[in-house]
Amino acid sequence: MDYQFPEGFLWGGASSGPQSEGGSTEGDRVMSEWDYWFSKEPERFYRQVGPSVTSDFYHKYPEYIEKMKAAGVKSYRTSIQWSRVIRDCDGTVNEDGIQFYNQVIDELIRNGIEPMMCLHHFDLPLYWVEKGGFENRETAYAFARFAAVCFGRFGDRVKYWTTFNEPVIIPETGYLYQRHYPAVCDAGKAAAVGYHVQLASSLAVAEFRKSGCDGKIGIIINLTPTYCENPEKAEDRRAAEILDLIFNRSFLDPSVKGEYPVELKELLEAEGILPEVSEGDREMIRENTVDYLGVNYYHPRRAKARTTVYEGPLMPEKYYEPYEFEGQKMNTSRGWEIYEPAIYDIAMNLKENYGNIPWYISENGMGIQDEEQFMGADGMVEDDYRIEFIKEHLTYLHKAIEEGCNCFGYHLWSPFDCWSWTNAYKNRYGLLRVDIYDGCKITMKKSAHWFRKLSENNGF
C-alpha cells in the first residue's frame, strides 16, 4: 500500500436531494425554483430534461443504498429538500417529507453508512422565491426555522450537518453569470444575496447550538485556489487576490473566522455595493462559526491583470483576465481544468490560515459526456479515467495529511449518476451507472469495484 489514510477516514459519496430524488410532486412536495424555472424555460436545460425524475432515489433508495454499500461507500452526503419538508411561508411541516427522510436516514444507518445532511443545495421553495429569494432578508430567518425543524426531527441520528452547499454559487450563477434562476446580472443584488446567505448560515448554526443536538455543524464551500500568471508581477498577484476574495474568502472567512475580510468590504464599498447590515448581524456572524468544513474541489482559477479596459456591467471580469498555458490538463466534457496539486494548497491554506479546522472533501469528481462509449461487452462501464482522477487527487491529499492537515474524509461526486442542473444528464459522474431512460437501472462501473477496495484497505 503506497497511500494509507488515517484510521476512521470517511470514504463516501455525495449527491443532493434535487439532483437524485425525483418524485417531485409526490408526498405533497411543493415546487422549488428548479421545477418552476424548468416549467418556464425548458430550453435552458440540456436536451430540455428537467428535475422531475433525476435518479428516482425517492422510490429506489433501498436499492441505491444497498449498491452504495457494495461500492464501499461508508458515508453518504446528501441534502434535505426544504420544498419536501416545509409547505409554505408559515412553516407548516409536511409529515410525508419528514417520513421520507426518516426512512432514508434509518436505511443508511442500517447499512452502516453515515448520513451527512446538508440543508440547502441550490434549491429554494417557490414560495420563498416569490418573495424575492435571498434578496429578501426574511428568507434567511425562514431558512433558520427550516433548519431548526430538521435538527429537531433528525438530529438524534444525523451527526454531520451542513448549512449550505457552495453558497457562493447562489449569487455567482443566479445574479452574475445567469446559469441559475433568476438568471440576472446585477452585482448589487449579488452582494446582498451573498450576505443574506451567510446570515442564513450563521442563524442556522445558532439554531443548531440551541437544539442541543450532539452532532457537528459545518458549511460546504467550493474552493477554487487562484493562481496568477506571473507571481513576480504585482498586478497579476492583485488580480488573483481579488478573485480569491470574491470566490473563496467571501464565505470562508465569515463562516470560519466570524468576520469578513476587510479587503472585501473595501472592494464592495468602492463599487458602491456594500450590503446593508442590520443591528446584531455582526455578532450573529461572529458568534456562530462552524465546527468543520466541507470542501468541494473541482478546478482552480487562473488570473492575470487585465490588458484591456473592461466594459460592461460590473462583474469579477473587471479585475482580471483568465490565462491558459501549454500542458494545461482539461476535462473537456465539463470544460474545467484538472489540477490535482490544488488539493494540497487548499489543505495547507486551511491549516495555516484557518486554525487547522477539521474538514473533508465533500465533493470531487469527474463528469464524462457519452460515457456509454466506454461500456465493455459485459455492459460494465470501464471508467479507468475516473480511477486515475481519484488516485491523483488522493496522492496530494495524502501528502497534506502527512504534513498535518486535518482532513477526515473524501467524498466522490457522485456515488451514482444523477441530474446536473442545466446540464441535465450530459455528464456522468457516478461509481454506479444509472440508465435514466431504462427505469433507472443501476449497475456498477469499474470504478465502483475499485472504490470498494480503496475503502476496505483505507488506502491504495
The catalytic residue positions are: 166, 363
For residues 174-213, which are near ligand BGP according to CB under 6 A? none
The CB-of-166 to ligand BGP minimum distance in angstroms stands at 5
Q: Please choose, out of 80-88, 278-286, 348-356, 415-423, the segment that lies near ligand BGP by the rule CB under 6 A.
A: 415-423
The CB-of-427 to ligand BGP minimum distance in angstroms stands at 5
> Is 367 a binder of ligand BGP (CB under 6 A)?
yes
Residue count, binding to ligand BGP (CB under 6 A): 14
Q: Coil, helix or strand for 455? A: helix
The CB-of-173 to ligand BGP minimum distance in angstroms stands at 9
Question: 91 — alpha (psi -120 to 50), left (phi > 0) or beta?
Answer: left
For residues 345-364, which are near ligand BGP according to CB under 6 A? 363
How many Cβ atoms from other residues are within 10 Å of residue 322's Cβ? 13
| CB-based contact 22:100 (threshold 8 Å) | no
Hey, what's the cell of 35?
A: 421545477
The CB-of-286 to ligand BGP minimum distance in angstroms stands at 27
The residues, any chain, with a CB within 8 Å of residue 40's CB and separated by 6 or more, are: none
Among 448, 444, 421, which residue's Cα sits nearest to residue 20?
421
Q: What separation in angstroms does the CA of 180 have from each of 175, 228, 236, 271, 402?
A: 8, 28, 30, 24, 39
| CB-based contact 408:392 (threshold 8 Å) | no
Contact pick of 166, 207, 236, 345 for ligand BGP (by CB under 6 A): 166
Amino acid at site 190: A
The CB-of-426 to ligand BGP minimum distance in angstroms stands at 8
Specify the residue, 115 or 167, whose C-beta has the smaller distance to ligand BGP.
167
Contact pick of 260, 344, 421, 450 for ligand BGP (by CB under 6 A): 421
Q: Coil, helix or strand for 53? A: coil
> Is 296 a binder of ligand BGP (CB under 6 A)?
yes
Q: What separation in angstroms does the CA of 137 have from each of 93, 171, 426?
A: 21, 14, 35
| 422 DSSP 8-state letter | G
> Is 171 a binder of ligand BGP (CB under 6 A)?
no
Contact pick of 81, 427, 447, 455 for ligand BGP (by CB under 6 A): 427
Look at the block and give the residue holding cell 482559477.
301
Amino acid at site 281: D
The CB-of-179 to ligand BGP minimum distance in angstroms stands at 9
Contact pick of 9, 10, 11, 16 for ligand BGP (by CB under 6 A): 16
Q: Please choose, out of 112-120, 149-157, 310-318, 413-421, the segment that lies near ligand BGP by the rule CB under 6 A.
A: 413-421
The CB-of-221 to ligand BGP minimum distance in angstroms stands at 11
Contact pick of 420, 428, 433, 460 for ligand BGP (by CB under 6 A): 420
Contact pick of 334, 351, 411, 445 for ligand BGP (by CB under 6 A): 334
| CB-based contact 247:224 (threshold 8 Å) | yes
**Cα–Cα distance for residue pair 296/277, rounded to 1 Å:** 29
> Is 165 a binder of ligand BGP (CB under 6 A)?
yes
> Is 261 a binder of ligand BGP (CB under 6 A)?
no
For residues 38-97, which are near ligand BGP according to CB under 6 A? none
Q: Please choose, out of 226-234, 264-272, 380-388, 420-428, the segment that lies near ligand BGP by the rule CB under 6 A.
A: 420-428
| 358 DSSP 8-state letter | -
Specify the residue, 236 or 363, whose C-beta has the smaller distance to ligand BGP.
363
Q: Please choose, out of 132-140, 384-392, 417-425, 442-450, the segment that lies near ligand BGP by the rule CB under 6 A.
A: 417-425
Chain residue at closest Cβ approach to ligand BGP: 420
The CB-of-56 to ligand BGP minimum distance in angstroms stands at 17
Amino acid at site 27: G
Q: Dihedral through CA 232, CA 234, CA 240, CA 242, nearest 10? A: 170
Amino acid at site 165: N
Hey, what's the cell of 419?
A: 441530474
Q: What separation in angstroms does the CA of 325 have from each of 240, 308, 436?
A: 16, 20, 38
Specify the residue, 75 or 420, whose C-beta has the smaller distance to ligand BGP.
420
Look at the block and give the residue holding cell 464565505.
251
For residues 87-146, which are near ligand BGP according to CB under 6 A? none
What is the binding site for ligand BGP (CB under 6 A)?
Answer: 16, 19, 165-166, 222, 296, 334, 363, 367, 413, 420-421, 423, 427
